[in-house]
Amino acid sequence: MCASATAIWVAIVVTILSRSHADRNVYPSAGVLFVHVLEREYFKGEFPPYPKSGDVSSDPITFNTNLMGYPDRPGWLRYIQRTLHSDGVLYGSPTARHVGKPTVIEITAYNRRSFETARHNLVINIMDTEEFPLPYQAEFYIRNMNVEEMLASEVLGDFLGAVKNVWQPERLNAINITSALDRGGRVPLPINDLKEGVYVMVGADVPFSSCLREVEGPHNQLRCSQEMEPSISCDKKFRAQFDIDWCKISLVDIAKMVSVNSQNRHDQSPGILAPEGFGEYNPPSESLKSHDYFSDFVVTLAVPAAVAMVLFVILGYTMCCRREGVDKRNMQTPDIQLAHHSSIQKSSKELRNMSKNREISWPLSTLPVFNPVSGEVVAPIHPDSYETTSMPLMQAQTNLQNQITIPQQRPSGKWYS
């Protein structure tokens, strides 16, 4: 019993080690498109069979790829898997600086049905090639393709064949493939089977053909600026399978770019080459002189402070030391004017005192009111204890005590009896 259990554990350990350390070596060339397909058929044998009835090949499997010891892949390597039931694809274009440095990619397969995992290592040994870089490079934008469709060997071979018929080079290689979404493109609407588009860069050893140069003509440039399709003579060789946007084609001559860059570098002052895209770096001199900031301090702080102090002294002298005062004003004023002013002040004071003691007359609104209907005159009540300021303007005409009846006048005449 113990022997059988030990054998089972040994088998499990050997299976785990075989899953974790199964390495596959590939040898891509620098400057040439590298494509590696992660086939689900290759990994499904690593998972144990499901106890219930079911087809193992239909299991949803996803892949996770990363550089060994790092959470992500190298910058030149991309990965795509469209659905859970499709194969994954690793693709990219290694450069010459990666030559001689084996790149180990850890590939972890996840079975989404049984939650089992399997791990393999892909060792990428980048080889140097004398053809790199190809001096003439052209980038095409294909609107009716997705990345995984273009990465298929048959489709990519058909496209390179069409380019070769137009270009007629001796050596032609696919350099890189990039999805339009990675260039800032938008996800297409899920109607009419629209594609996201893909950029394909190819390189050759001969100059560009006259057909490819037609895009640079002024007539076609004008049509592109008006968002119209340019007229390209060789478009019919691609139109059957590939819908190319000729306004987005890019033609690059590496030899001219290198000569221009070397000339600019020769004209500039010598410096240390900075990272790509930042030009040259000129370090400061080792013998740095100390800078005297006293003059800056004087100009910035001392001068404004001195001007403010002078203004403060002038204002204080004017407000405090130049005041005339009442005595000096009276000495400079004539006696008759002072007497006149004093009499006016005394008269004003007496009038104020008298106004406090005078009786306030009753307002006209408080006089007896004549009622035109009844002919009665109502006398207002004015108690002495009431304040005149709080008395109402009109008195109520009901329930009043002192009512005066006005006798009615009778007409005179002989007919009056």
Strands 117-124 and 103-111: antiparallel
d(CA 313, CA 85): 90
CB atoms within 10 A of CB 163: 24
d(CA 117, CA 100): 31
Q: Which amino acid is present at 41?
A: E
Q: Can you say how many angstroms the Cα of residue 112 is from the centroid of all Cα atoms in its chain?
A: 37
pLDDT at 4: 41
pLDDT at 42: 82
d(CA 58, CA 40): 10
d(CA 99, CA 112): 37
Mention every residue, 6+ apart, whose C-beta is less than 8 A from residue 368: 377, 378, 379, 380, 404
pLDDT at 269: 42
pLDDT at 278: 54
Q: Can you say how many angstroms the Cα of residue 121 is from the centroid of all Cα atoms in its chain?
A: 39
pLDDT at 332: 79
Tokens representing 238? Answer: 């691609």
Cα–Cα separations (whole angstroms), residue 33 to 21, 28, 125, 269, 337 = 27, 8, 14, 37, 112
pLDDT at 310: 95
Tokens representing 302? Answer: 């001392």
Contact 282, 269 (CB under 8 A): yes
d(CA 372, CA 386): 29
Contact 397, 378 (CB under 8 A): yes
Query: pLDDT tens digits, the chain, 417 residues: what are they?
Result: 444 443 333 333 333 333 444 588 999 888 889 999 998 888 877 777 766 655 555 788 899 999 998 988 988 999 999 888 888 999 998 888 888 888 899 999 998 888 888 888 999 998 887 766 788 999 999 998 989 889 888 999 999 999 999 998 888 889 999 999 988 888 887 777 788 899 999 999 889 988 888 888 899 899 999 888 888 888 888 888 899 999 999 898 887 765 544 444 444 444 444 444 555 667 667 676 777 888 888 889 988 999 999 999 999 888 887 777 777 777 878 888 888 888 898 889 888 888 777 655 555 555 555 566 666 665 555 545 444 444 454 444 444 444 444 455 455 544 443
Q: Residue 94, class by beta-carbon neighbours within 10 Å (0-12 exposed, 13-18 middle, 19+ buried)?
A: buried
Element (H, E) at 224: helix 218-225
Tokens representing 243? Answer: 């819908």
pLDDT at 331: 81
pLDDT at 41: 82
Q: Which amino acid is present at 15?
A: T
Task: Return the SS3 of 299.
Answer: helix
d(CA 204, CA 312): 82
What are the helix (H) ranges across 30-146? 40-44
Contact 235, 220 (CB under 8 A): no
CB atoms within 10 A of CB 252: 14
Task: Return the SS3 of 134.
Answer: coil
Tokens representing 360? Answer: 């306030």
Determine if residue 4 is left, alpha or beta; phi over 0 gives left, psi from -120 to 50 gives alpha, anything else beta. Answer: alpha
Tokens representing 198? Answer: 């893909």
pTM, two decimal places: 0.56
Cα–Cα separations (whole angstroms), residue 240 to 147, 188, 211, 234, 244 = 19, 22, 17, 12, 11
pLDDT at 114: 81
Contact 151, 35 (CB under 8 A): yes
Going along the chain from its start, the domains and CATH numbers come out as: 16-124 (2.60.40.10), 136-254 (no CATH)
pLDDT at 14: 32
Contact 158, 142 (CB under 8 A): no
d(CA 187, CA 189): 7
Mention every residue, 6+ apart, whose C-beta is less than 8 A from residue 139: 199, 200, 201, 202, 249, 250, 252
220: closest CA among 159, 211, 168?
A: 211
Beta bridge partners, 172, equal: 204
Contact 258, 137 (CB under 8 A): no
Q: Is the dihedral of CA 166, 169, 170, 173 positive or negative?
A: negative
